[in-house]
A and B are shown apart, each in its own frame.
Chain A
């Protein structure tokens, strides 16, 4: 059973960088069978896909966030990370990591429980 767990600060100051890590258990990220995504949900809002990373390190970012976004992967630790720079209150959201399929656009079958990030001074 694959499990994902997000970790990182719950409070970030405006203009600073939001950093989150997702640790995957129950499967090896280096097997190359999945794309690994970040998805967020604003309070009371819908779901917004942020971007994904493949085991090789190749990434695709949502164009709306691309200029502020960086993702990385460490297959030896079975984890991947998100860095979102120059945050504002609009980045306050529940952040999920999720496992996609074997193609860049796919559905998400396993999700982390989510971590709430608040941007505030």
Chain B
């Protein structure tokens, strides 16, 4: 299985801040990387796929980049509705695996 490691595990930020979350794969996965947002008690919501493609309906303040083993999710200006946990997921090989999550909290 491909191990996915996110950092940081949590961060405290303010509305309007720029937020950067990183994800590292245990082996090269090309650009087969997705990002999800999850709020408590809800299903994850797909934000980004293929490393940098914005899912239909996801706000444009979310962007993704990276290839190979290192990937980044950026929220350009954090909005109140963005406080949530974010997960990366590799879609390079089965079984698909997720990072451990990054919780974005209010400072």
Contacts and interface: CB of A to CB of B under 8 A. Distances in A.
B95 A47 contact: no
B94 A107 contact: no
B104 to A, nearest CB: 15
Contacts of A101: 91
A80 interface: no
B97 to A, nearest CB: 7
Interface size class of A (residues with CB under 8 A): 20 to 34
Contacts of A96: 43-44
A25 interface: no
A60 B43 contact: no
Contacts of B94: 52, 60, 104-105
Contacts of B97: 49
B43 A107 contact: no
B99 A46 contact: yes
A27 interface: no
B6 to A, nearest CB: 9
Interface string B6-44: 000000000000000000000000001010100001111
Interface of B: 1, 32, 34, 36, 41-46, 49, 55, 87, 89-101
